[in-house]
Amino acid sequence: MGRRLAAIFAGDVVGFSRLMGLDETGTLARLKQVRKTVVQPKIDQHHGRVVKLMGDGLLVEFGSVVDAVTCAIEIQQTLTTQEQSQPDERQIRLRIGVNLGDIILEGSDIYGDGVNIAARLETLSNPGGVCISGAVYEQVHRQLPFGFEDGGEQALKNIDRPIRVWRWLPDAASIAAALPLSAGLAKRPDKPSIAVLPFDNMSGDPEQEFFADGMTEDIITALSRMPWFFVIARNSSFTYKGRSMDVKQVSAELGVKYLLEGSVRKAGERLRITAQLIDATTGNHVWAERFDRMLADIFDVQDEVTASIVGAIAPEFLLVEAQQAKRKDASQLDAWECVMRGRAHLWKLGRRDANEARLLFERAISLVPSGEFGMSDLALVHFLESYYRWSDDPATSLQAMASTAKDAVAIDDTDPWALTILSWSNVVTHQWDEVLPPVERAIDLSPNFASAIGIRGAALALLGEAEKGIDSISQAIRLSPRDGMVVFWLMGLFWAYMSLERHGEAASTARQAIRLAPRNPTFRRQLASALAWQDRMEEARQAVEDYRTLEPTHTTADAAMVPSKIPADIERFVEGLRRAGLPDSLS
């Protein structure tokens, strides 16, 4: 019997008993395959040792805590992608806990508090997530390009002291919540504030999940157009989808007083929507209502729900004019559903998902040739395929974005999202005089539309209005602290800081963006240039090496292809890269 310091990884299958009840033989076969093709190869790759398998769980020992955390996250990322082909109720998902501590060796087995804490951390992990101890976090948070959320000190069963807990943030939308830029911004505004949480699908039919999400989005959009409400943006509200949360905790995290939650239940052609407005400071229900309607008049129901909520939140205001969201013919629900499903893919920002989203948006347009459904969303897909070079001809994809963005605005020049995408298209294509008017109109139409406010900030930075850009991006993050668009905003924030020669803040911004998009070369070269201008040459050269690992053939000429109107900003940026060691040519 001996002792040593080790990193301990404890994993367990979520809902294993339920999966076995659905299909015992199939579940065991698939679990065996997951261990063989995903779990064991990753453990071997990161030099771990499987101590024991325990039915649906496993215990693994690592000599390096960096290896343990990297292995855990890569397993979850790979498994999440692999299981997408399975129905939600049959997906194999893991919870993983990682601790660093002293262990007792007895033969091939291990014991002690270090092991027990890892096992307790696993139970605190979200499905598909990784939960680590404070000791682990201190060792890895500067070494790995992953975001973690502070879960505070937790009392763990049979552990005689509280343990600091950190949870891995697996997506861009949630990583934004941990950025220093958004720290302290969740203070409640002076005017009434509300977050609309994702409506629950109570139908037992996965097909209705998109309908419930669309219902939530329409309510958020309508509320955002009301001048007397502060409304948390859709991308932040949706980070709570599928999570059971205490209303006071959600209120504190988003900085709102009121929460709207609800459910959708479909039976045949009948639809029941319930909604409850909660004063999160007390937990009391301010208002509740149930709507039983035929499916054909769903958009009228949404208008009715919105108007009722407005009246409940601010009874002292006379509702002179409630600008309603544009409503489509209920007979076109199939096309609308295509858009809802397409957006579910689009916001994952992956190559395969972008392709799936494009097909769904194109189908929606074919069902309604006027283009009322899906046109502005399709424009954004064309941008992704061009910007990330996912298409065979990126130049053609960029042209398609520009033409589709213009078409979307021509179809509906009151659509804030279409106007925002048109502005971004004009940035990328250097149509400088046409950059701001569309996005400013979008904000006029929807004052709390964070995507427009953030893109306006990025555009201002690239146009040479650095201070205004910083103000606009900060406002966007206040509105939607967990927004998936944060990575675009940070790109603009970097350029604003570089233009003002605030190189330390520029470098910090680039590091934040790297946490959001670790495989994106843009932010590696941004970091390198900012560090070089601080004479932190060793770090700058390392950033260039990291950049060239992702893009081995890139030179300063590639780095100069930035959509900025200010030549001096581009020249200064490129000079920083040159100092950091990026060559002017490959010869």
- Three-class SS state of 138: helix
Asked if 273 and 201 touch (Cβ cutoff 8 Å), the reply is no
pLDDT per position as a tens digit, 264-304:
887 777 778 888 888 787 777 777 777 777 766 666 666 66
Residue 113 has pLDDT above 70, yes or no: yes
Q: What is the pLDDT of residue 484?
A: 66
**Mean pLDDT of all residues in 156-174:** 74
What does the pLDDT look like over 221-275, one tens digit per residue?
Answer: 767 665 446 778 776 787 787 777 778 888 877 878 788 888 888 777 777 888 8
CA distance readout (Å), 464 to 7, 218, 496, 531: 49, 35, 8, 21
Q: Which fold has domain 453-587?
A: 1.25.40
Indicate the DSSP class of residue 295: G
Mean pLDDT of 319-337: 38
CA distances from residue 84 to 26, 61, 81, 353 in whole angstroms, order as listed: 17, 29, 6, 11
Across 82-91, 121-130, 328-337, 393-402, least confident range: 328-337
User: Do strands 57-62 and 2-13 pair parallel, antiparallel, or not at all (unpaired)?
Assistant: antiparallel
pLDDT of residue 447: 66
| Of the ranges 23-32, 116-125, 279-288, 501-510, the best mean pLDDT one | 501-510
Pairing of strands 193-196, 130-133: unpaired
Q: For 115-153, what is each residue's pLDDT tens digit? A: 999 998 998 888 888 999 999 998 887 777 777 877 777
Q: What is the model's pLDDT at position 323? A: 28
Bridge-based pairing state of the strands 258-267 and 193-196: parallel
**pTM greater than 0.75:** no
Most confidently modeled range among 326-330, 389-393, 562-566 = 562-566
C-beta neighbour count of 557 within 10 angstroms: 12
pLDDT at 549 over 80: yes
pLDDT for 297 equals: 64
Q: What CATH code is assigned to 2-170?
A: 3.30.70.1230
> Range with the lowest mean pLDDT among 24-38, 42-56, 233-247?
233-247
72-91 confidence digits (pLDDT tens): 999 998 998 888 778 777 88
DSSP class of 126: P
Q: What is the phi/psi pair of residue 234, to 5°?
A: -55, -45
Domains of the chain, by residue range, sit at 2-170, 193-326, 453-587
40 pLDDT band (50/70/90 cuts)?
very high
Of the candidate ranges 33-42, 235-244, 299-308, 333-342, the one whose mean pLDDT is the lowest: 299-308
Beta carbons within 8 Å of 580's beta carbon, 6+ residues apart: 528, 529, 531, 532, 537, 540, 541, 543, 544
Place of tokens 């855990």: 72
* Other residues' Cβ atoms within 10 Å of the Cβ of residue 206: 11
> What per-residue confidence (pLDDT) applies to 541?
95
Name every residue whose Cβ is closer than 8 Å to that of residue 266 and which is 6 or more positions away in sequence.
203, 205, 208, 211, 272, 295
- CA dist., res. 455 & res. 543, Å (int): 26
Is pLDDT above 50 for 316? no
Distance of CA 303 to the CA centre of its chain: 28
Q: Minimal CA–CA distance to 118: which of 9, 13, 14, 12? A: 9
DSSP 205-247: -GGGHHHHHHHHHHHHHHHHTSTT-EE--HHHHGGGTT----H
Give the separation between CA 471 and CA 388, rounded to whole angstroms.
Answer: 28
| Least confidently predicted of 11-20, 55-64, 314-323 | 314-323
At 571, the amino acid letter reads E
| Arithmetic mean of pLDDT over the chain | 81
Any idea which of 128-137, 320-329, 440-449, 577-586 has the lowest mean pLDDT?
A: 320-329
CA 235/CA 555 separation, integer angstroms: 36
CATH code of the domain occupying 193-326: 3.40.50.10610
pLDDT score of 495 more than 90: yes
Q: Which residues pair with 103 in a beta bridge?
A: 4
